[in-house]
Amino acid sequence: MAMLFSRLKLKTKQINHQYSSKMEKNIDIPSNLLFIGKSFSGKSYLSKYLLYRLALAKKFHYAALISTTGQFNWSCIPNSWMFKPSQCQQLLFRMFNYHDHLQKQGIQLQGILIIDDCLGAINFHDEFWTQVVTTCG
């Protein structure tokens, strides 16, 4: 049993090293990524790992979070960039305006928006979200 565990652990490290060094290179920015799974299946952990890898690759300048549980699960993002679902449209309008303002000055800024644990708290079946998903990624 110990030998099997050691092999699994070694194999996991090999896979992690093999793919993690390529993962951030293969994700185009802008992108839309969707992680779907049952509760406690690791969606948030996968998101944080990906955020970490993309940060190391300098793929973005900042990250914003819309979450019902942000303060508890996302200590890697400053509180000033955490928003509740009720504030999401206001946040996105501010982000779009800020990006437009910088783009007019010739500055390209990349940001990541993470929406976590918001199913039922945000009406995604809305023209606003259709536009966000189809034009921002």
pLDDT 10s digits, 31-72: 777 888 888 888 888 888 888 888 888 888 888 889 887 667
Check: CB of residue 83 under 8 Å from CB of residue 71. Answer: no
The pLDDT score that the predictor gives to residue 104 is: 94
106-132: burial string, b at 16+ Cβ within 10 Å, e else: eeeeebbbbbbbbeeebeeeeeebeeb
Q: Indicate whether 83 pLDDT > 60.
A: yes
Quote the CA–CA distance of 119 and 13 in Å, as a whole number.
33
Q: Indicate whether 126 pLDDT > 80.
A: yes
> In the predicted model, what is the mean pLDDT of the chain?
77
This model's pTM is above 0.75: no
Please tell me which residue, 35 or 20, carries the higher pLDDT value: 35
